Amino acid sequence: MNSQAHKSFAEAFDRTDVLGSYRNRFHIPKRENGTEEIYFCGNSLGLQPKSAQSYVQEVLEAWAQMGVRGHFEGDHPWLPYHEFATEKLARLVGALPVEVAAMNSLTVNLHLLMVSFYRPTPERHKILIEEHAFPSDRYAMESQITFHGFDPEESLIEASARPGEAILRAEDLLELIEREGDGIALILWPGVQFYTGQAFALDEIAEAGHKEGCVVGFDLAHAAGNLVLRLHDWNADFAVWCSYKYLNAGPGAVAGCFVHERHAERFDIPRFAGWWGHDKSTRFVMPPRFSPLPGAEGWQLSNPPILSLAPLLSSLDLFDQAGMAALRTKSESLIGYLEHLLKERCGDRIAILTPPEPAERGCQLSLRLKDGKRVFESLLASGIVCDWREPDVIRVAPVPFYNRYAEIFDFVDRLEGVIAHAD
């Protein structure tokens, strides 16, 4: 198919896209000449919903007009403000409302939940993570291991791909869990591996871990708002995620956590306590003894930052309206088209690290190519925003809410030209 035919093909897809109108509900960054950027970086920072400003402005106006009364009065009083996100968050990650809470940041939530769910013993003290895990996860794991008096060199297990391969095979991971399971206290696994873009069968991992007596937790930083999740049904013990990537809640947005219903009233579990996790009926009586709320809310510490929560509410509205199933269908189509064009027009000049099977990837392709950093910078200079990850990968993430097929065509067209110029 020639270039013009491909362009017409992409534009035809855009005209019939049932989710196409959602693009108009986001602010699209612009270049100095006023043209819109091609923004394929939603896996690093999602774009701003246009409704976010009104949500934040509502909080500012309530503060200006009511002062402290804003905690209890108005359409969205601050005292229960985080609860306005609960049901929509639960639907988004496939959980019960009691199992989720919007709070803190991802790594803070991870530490809080490890206090409760990583309980190492001399016989069972290991943590299983993937090789090249996101650094913050690794730092958290190592610090928890050290805090409990163990050595990360002995207690941290890394599951790695086979020599010469970038992708971890599912059968290798499950075999590792079976082989090492009696010494593993915690499996902490990503929904999507940030570097390669590989998505995992989390239900199989949870089942295999529990069969060996391991606690199983998930880092969903690159999965929440990207994949269809069923955390309750998958039986994970806990999960954490951030909200500034696919959830479009803004830089440093309030994160989320999941604690399975079976742990909801296990008040004997050790935890770090704070007054926002205390029983609401007596919270303002301020008793000396901590009485945790049932469910994920019981792991809260302080009253949440309302101004940071407001944009999350605006984004969750959009997810609730569009539906994660429809977004995932479009995502698979966008990525499939991107992969097709890359193979057709760039051939073996690009290596795609991300698995080809739709079930094993989200809306990201990780590309490795000659002189990749220079190619990335050339794309950026032309108004195409992707993401560079050391040492040698360009991450490209067309997001179904606001990206178009025509943008994928333009990206590949420009990429081919940059590569040809380099040759």
- Tell me the three state secondary structure of residue 266: coil
169 neighbors 200 (Cβ within 8 angstroms): no
The 10s digit of each residue's pLDDT in 89-126 is: 999 999 999 999 999 999 999 999 999 999 999 999 99
Question: In one letter, which amino acid is 182?
Answer: D
- 56-321 belongs to which CATH class? alpha beta
> Which two tokens mark 206?
């949870």
State the Cα–Cα distance between residues 63 and 73, nearest whole angstrom. 11
SS3 assignment for 201-225? CHHHHHHHHHHCCCEEEEECCCCCC
State the Cα–Cα distance between residues 159 and 181, nearest whole angstrom. 13
For residue 5, name the pLDDT band (cuts at 50, 70, 90).
Answer: low
Mean pLDDT over 381-389 rounds to: 96
Position with higher pLDDT, 300 vs 391: 300
Q: Around Cβ 328, how many Cβ atoms within 10 Å?
A: 17
Asked if CATH classification 3.90.1150.10 holds for the domain at 3-36+323-422, the reply, yes or no, is yes
Which of 419, 325, 408, 323 lies closest to 375, judged by CA?
419
Q: How many helices (H) and strands (E) does the chain have?
A: 13, 13
Task: Check residue 405 and give its pLDDT.
Answer: 97
**pLDDT tops 80 at residue 205:** yes
For residue 400, name the pLDDT band (cuts at 50, 70, 90).
Answer: very high
411 neighbors 350 (Cβ within 8 angstroms): no
* Cα-Cα-Cα-Cα dihedral sign, residues 206, 187, 241, 99: positive
Task: Check residue 2 and give its pLDDT.
Answer: 60
Provide the residue ranges of all domains of the chain, joining segments of one domain with +. Answer: 3-36+323-422, 56-321
Mean pLDDT over 343-358 rounds to: 94
DSSP class of residue 226 equals T
Q: Which residue has the tokens 């989720």?
A: 100
Alpha carbon dihedral 335, 339, 345, 351, in 10-degree steps, equals 130
- 151 Cβ partners below 8 Å, 6+ apart? 145
**pLDDT tops 90 at residue 423:** no
The 10s digit of each residue's pLDDT in 244-287 is: 999 999 999 999 999 999 999 999 999 999 999 999 999 999 99
Q: Around Cβ 263, how many Cβ atoms within 10 Å?
A: 20
Task: Check residue 421 and give its pLDDT.
Answer: 75
Mean pLDDT over 171-186 rounds to: 98
- Share of residues in the chain with pLDDT > 70 (%): 98
Which of 245, 194, 192 lies closest to 223, judged by CA?
192
Task: Check residue 4 and give its pLDDT.
Answer: 60
State the Cα–Cα distance between residues 240 and 394, nearest whole angstrom. 26
Average pLDDT over the chain reads 96
Which of 43, 77, 42, 90 lies closest to 309, judged by CA?
77
Task: Check residue 422 and give its pLDDT.
Answer: 63
* pTM of the entire predicted model: 0.95
- Share of residues in the chain with pLDDT > 90 (%): 95
Backbone angles phi, psi at 188, to 5 degrees: -115, 110
**pLDDT tops 60 at residue 1:** no
Which of 209, 216, 218 lies closest to 178, judged by CA?
209
Q: How many CA atoms lie within 13 A of 378 on its CB side?
A: 16
